[in-house]
Structure 1
């Protein structure tokens, strides 16, 4: 009888090691990030961070969006982050290089990996600095996602062992994609900030 238990245990161990864990499935990167899918504007739906101080910064924003724009070389992309906070808009521009399932910032030690998501008009992005998770964002072409997609994002954040996601208020207005003619309405920077 003892031999049967040993055989069952060995079989169970081999099967348990063969199947990927739930977190491995949730954190699986996209095979290839496609610029044509990324191109354009994406609204921030929710965000999760490793540092609680960054969470407070995220909560202070009324809305946020990212914009991908390209030129003839689709591996070199213009990446603009636009934040609305206290009735003003901030524009932060960087150049990025697409690489496999993500992209890198040309002048920063930040790597972004796009993870698989069940949301067809979403992109889940993991921002790492020195191979440590710093931020995890869910962007969408629309301002809201369904309950299933949000639960998936929450589970992904839990697998990354970072804060519970903060969900942006979809009723808050997004800043325009481009800076208006009035310089007092916007702040522009060539760097990435929290």
Structure 2
């Protein structure tokens, strides 16, 4: 989300291979899976739900993010992936492009934040689940994201993800509503304005991330940021 922290931590890299067998126990639900190669990660994925330990993340997601999707393509290096994320907020689109490397079934990223990701088992045949650890300021946070080839998953598939969240002792997840519409595949469009945050995020130094970390540990600060962003986007629409 335009909320910088969410863009930084959600980071658009919600990757995992699908499995068709039903998954029920916590042992199975939090079991990492082996990534056979980049090909199984390629394509477009819609963000269905996510849980993170970043303070205020769920509140900001519910208040600001209408929808989000990622597109994964191969990068020049043999072990690298390019990840393009588009999030719709206040009727506008905000995009971010990042680069990840794949080694020993672990995805790693350096910018805009340092992160490592492993893919978890799932009973959904075309869904993607990834467990992440990322560093913001001086703190390490965890997160679990759920994506699908489809824009809407079944109730049973969503319940399985919620159980995975519980098994990992993560906060209750934010769930996005596909009925709110998505950013177009090609941007900009006449209907939806788009802002690329890639350079802004990559140029943010450790001091800025430390400041964001302190802000997002305060409920009052989260509410103030929401009001500030709402006012700013409203002004852009009037222009």
* Category of TM-score, reference length = shorter chain: 0.7 to 0.9
Instruction: Return the offset for 1:110.
Output: 0.7
Please name the residue that 1:9 is paired with: none
Correspondence 1:46 to 2:54? no
Please name the residue that 1:118 is paired with: 123
Please name the residue that 1:79 is paired with: 83
Please name the residue that 1:160 is paired with: 168
Please name the residue that 2:232 is paired with: none
Which of 90, 93, 96 is residue 94 of structure 2 equivalent to? 90
Deviations 1:110-154 (A, max 9, x none): 112211111111100112125955221100000121222111101
Aligned length: 173
Task: Note the residue ranges of structure 2 that are not aligned, 5 or more in a row.
Answer: 1-23, 203-208, 213-239
- Counterpart-to-counterpart distance in 2, 1:124 and 1:100: 17
- Counterpart-to-counterpart distance in 1, 2:26 and 2:105: 18
Which has the greater radius of gyration? 1
- Describe the SS at the equivalent of 1:69: strand
Say which structure is richer in strand.
Answer: 1
Q: Which one is further off, 153-162 or 29-38?
A: 29-38
Deviations 1:48-80 (A, max 9, x none): 121341112221200001110114544111111
Which of 13, 18, 25 is residue 22 of structure 1 equivalent to? 25
Instruction: Return the offset for 1:179.
Output: 2.3
- Counterpart-to-counterpart distance in 2, 1:176 and 1:79: 16
- State the TM-score, normalizing by the size of structure 2: 0.65
Q: Which one is further off, 118-127 or 64-73?
A: 64-73
Is contact 1:33–1:114 with CA below 8 Å preserved after alignment?
no
Is contact 1:133–1:160 with CA below 8 Å preserved after alignment?
no
- Counterpart-to-counterpart distance in 2, 1:24 and 1:133: 22
Say which structure is richer in helix.
Answer: 2
Task: Note the residue ranges of structure 1 that are not aligned, 5 or more in a row.
Answer: 1-20
CA RMSD of aligned residues (A): 2.5
- Describe the SS at the equivalent of 2:179: coil
Please name the residue that 2:183 is paired with: 175
Q: Which one is further off, 101-110 or 86-95?
A: 101-110
- State the TM-score, normalizing by the size of structure 1: 0.79
Please name the residue that 1:57 is paired with: 60
